[in-house]
Structure 1
Amino acid sequence: MVDIEKANQEALKRVLDAQPVWVDVQKAIDVIPGMKKNMLLHAGPPVTWERMSGPQKGAVMGALVYEGLAKTPEEAAELAASGEIIFEPNHHHHAVGPMAGIISPSMPVVVIENEAFGNKAYCNLNEGIGKVLRMGAYSPDVIERLKWMEEVELPVLQKAIRKAGRMEMKPIMAEALTMGDELHNRSRAASYLLFAKITPYLLQTMDDIKKTNDVIDFMFANIHTFLPFVMASCKASLEPAENIEGSSMVTVMARNGTDWGIRVSGLGDEWFT
């Protein structure tokens, strides 16, 4: 008979032993396992285009325009309904995403490695607040910001973190908690701490003063800069606790505006909604 308590102790130990470290920023298509050019990853359990909530549909439409697969939101909606686009949960690809959670192939993603176990997790960079794709917005200024993040922010941050080599996430999270953050809706302190740690490397790797200054200004003004880092860190920390026979630990809790679902360690990849 399986010892559930022992299984849960092992699952908890793996979570506590996790050492999430920021190691890179890359395009989703280049680093997320199983990502395809005609694939969009989304928040929550599996959901079809027809069942998606309004904001998630809006985010899909914006992502398809951003990727150049559609010229207008109307074309994007037709394409999404055509069956030519593959929709899969972020959690099926070691990834997470905020709100609608849409990750498209060209989007820059944070790469977090759990050094204790060797697994990696991914989350798209944060757009800031206001009118943003994750909330379902798809106006031209939203698309323009996404392109800027791909063409400017990605290479600037990539050079900086590669110069740094690695950056531990737990110390930032621990200090931010003592400063009032809860590390999701409020991540202001953690964002400033990350900013302070990465800025020297941004300056050391600066090729274009304007581009680097723009990235610095964007990161400093965005109170959610740290959000993708903590989300990917949590994903990387929890994945080693999956698939432990007999464990009742919930390793995934996710929603997409239509369904809320969980996955349980000892029950494999099955979703319960």
Structure 2
Amino acid sequence: MSGINKLFSQELKILNIGTSKFKDDLELQGQDVLQLDWEPAAGGDIKLLNIVDKLSSRKEIETANKEAVKRMINSHPILVDIDKAINVIPGMKENMILHSGPPIEWDMMAGPMQGAIIGALIYEKRAKNEDEARKIAASGEIEFAPCNEHNTVGPMAGIVSPSMPVHVIYNKTYGNYGYCTINEGLGKVLRYGAFNDEVIERLRWIEEEFAPTMKKALKNTQDGIDIKSIISQAIHMGDECHNRNKAATSLFFREIVSYVIDTDVDTSVIKRVLDFIKENEHYFLNLSMPSCKVATDAAHGIENSTIVTTMARNGVEFGIRVSGLGEKEWFTAPANMIKGLMFPGFKEDDASPDIGDSSITETMGIGGFSMGASPAIVQFVGGTIEDAIGYSESMYNITEGENTNYSIPNLNFRGSAIGIDIIKVIEKGILPIINTGMAHKVAGIGQVGAGLVNPPMECFKKAITEFDRKN
């Protein structure tokens, strides 16, 4: 039998590329068909393809990107202090409120962000109630600025006002600092736009009792608490350090507890402080975020680098910043809606568009990028264990390197994907994966679910086009 006859005498294996309608028709005829989800590079956009071809061949970009990733990997975040925002955050002012995501003005802000600002103004005693706070916010008296432009990150609404205590993270490799507020716990909390009496009382307790006690405890440590080590261990224990922080919070509690006990603070206060950490499984999120921030900030400002150093959302727009482009140069597009699991009593229409600075974790290669290490996370954000592993594997296609400091046991301890490259995102048509909480679109209601979301591709298209124009 000739080779060609032998070929056609065998059972055919059909591979369908493109529209699935052909696959459906063939399956109706009893054929076994494998569907290949394929798209042309850069979505078939000739202009973007030409930019990708031109930039991909430039050695100076490759060298710059390797340097950016090296800085991120080599960064070593240490918790060294807790202090009021006005005392430590660069450029912070008495009339300034920082928020999550790219720049935005009061009248354009999403409900949760406006609610959190109302709460901050009441907490700062600039307003007595919601009506007064809204008038002040709209008057121009308050200067609003992105957390990320002040070495700071904030979950969800991301609001930081002058009197709020913040964690102070020091990058002992490169000497830079990052900041983040204290995680309030779940339920009615400021970061989701709540501003009732319970929220304000908790914020004042954090300022007046919790923060001073922790400040004394951190002085007892001499060198601070090694956050990098905790993240590394927690990922091996089933956390991804964005939406799952059970192990990381437990490890941090173990590290800090003796230093708190050794302070000269009253025993009843010590008990309240330790109970606050112990009962809040998300406490560590507000440590992992600024720890990722100091690493990505260390990688920002490298000439010719196409590595993403910021991904952040304000509930209206998603914004990215790129190492080789400007410090305040954001590339934005409308924020996407999150798909996932809703809490009982809520539906998808209740949720605000994507919001918060917590995607700094994915920018650093943990969070959604390390879901393969955290099988239990699918019970919170949806999907299957196979999906979680698949998300982690797919991120290697759009990143420059692997971070062996944060290795994934379920991928045979392969280092997490790190260094999102705008060139690869455009070329492959693969977007970063982010797992995140959902805030109700109305201020004050709080969290309504959790799920998965991608940045808009338009952010990356704008960034690569501008990079090409400047370089």
TM value normalised by structure 1:
0.99
Q: Which of 166-175 and 130-139 deviates more?
A: 166-175
Q: Could you tell me which amino acid in structure 2 is paired with residue 237 of structure 1? A: A
Tell me which of 128, 151, 156 is aligned to 1:94.
151
Residue type of the partner of 1:227? L
Task: Within 5 Å, give how 1:232-243 maps onto structure 2.
Answer: 232-243=290-301
CA distance in 1, matches of 2:96, 2:145: 8
Letter in 1 for 2:232: A
User: Which of 311, 326, 330 is the matching residue for 1:271?
Assistant: 330
* Aligned residue identity for 2:194: A
1:164 aligns with 2:221: yes
Q: Over alpha carbons, which structure has the higher Rg?
A: 2
Q: Match of 2:309?
A: 251
Deviating beyond 6 angstroms after TM superposition, the runs of 4 or more aligned structure 1 residues are none
- Letter in structure 2 aligned against 1:155: P
Amino acid at match of 2:225: M
Residue 214 of structure 1 pairs with residue 282 of structure 2: no
Pairwise mapping of residues 10-159 of structure 1 onto structure 2 (< 5 A)?
A: 10-159=67-216
SS in 2 for 1:235: helix
User: What per-residue deviation string (whole Å, max 9, x for no partner) do you get for residues 93-124 of structure 1?
Assistant: 00000000000111110000000010000000
Rounded to whole Å, the distance in 1 between the matches of 2:128 and 2:60 is 56
- Equivalent position amino acid for 2:323 in 1: S
Measured in 1, the distance between the counterparts of 2:268 and 2:133 equals 33
Q: Distance in 1 between matches of 2:164 and 2:249?
A: 20
SS of match in other structure, 2:331: coil
The offset of 1:268, in angstroms, is 1.7
SS in 1 for 2:306: coil
Distance 1:227 1:164 in 2: 21
Superposition RMSD in Å? 0.8
Q: Map Cα deviations across residues 163-209 of structure 1 (whole Å, 9 max, x no partner).
A: 10211111100111111111011111100100010000000014211
Partner SS, residue 50 of structure 1: helix
Q: Which residue in 2 is equivalent to 1:228?
A: 286
Bigger mean CA deviation after superposition, 160-169 or 137-146: 160-169
**Normalised TM-score (structure 2):** 0.57
Aligned counterparts of 2:326 and 2:154: Cα–Cα separation in 1: 21
- Partner residue of 1:174 out of 214, 232, 254: 232
Q: Distance in 1 between matches of 2:96 and 2:209?
A: 23
Deviation at 1:74, TM superposition (A): 1.1
Structure 1, unaligned runs of 5 or more:
none
The match for 2:257 among 199, 221, 230 is 199
Q: What SS is found at the alignment partner of 2:168?
A: strand
Partner of 2:357: none
Equivalent pair of 1:94/1:122 in contact (CA under 8 Å): yes
User: Number of residues paired by the alignment?
Assistant: 273
Highest RCO, 1 vs 2 (Cα 8 Å, sep ≥ 6): 1
Gaps of 5+ in 2: 1-57, 333-471
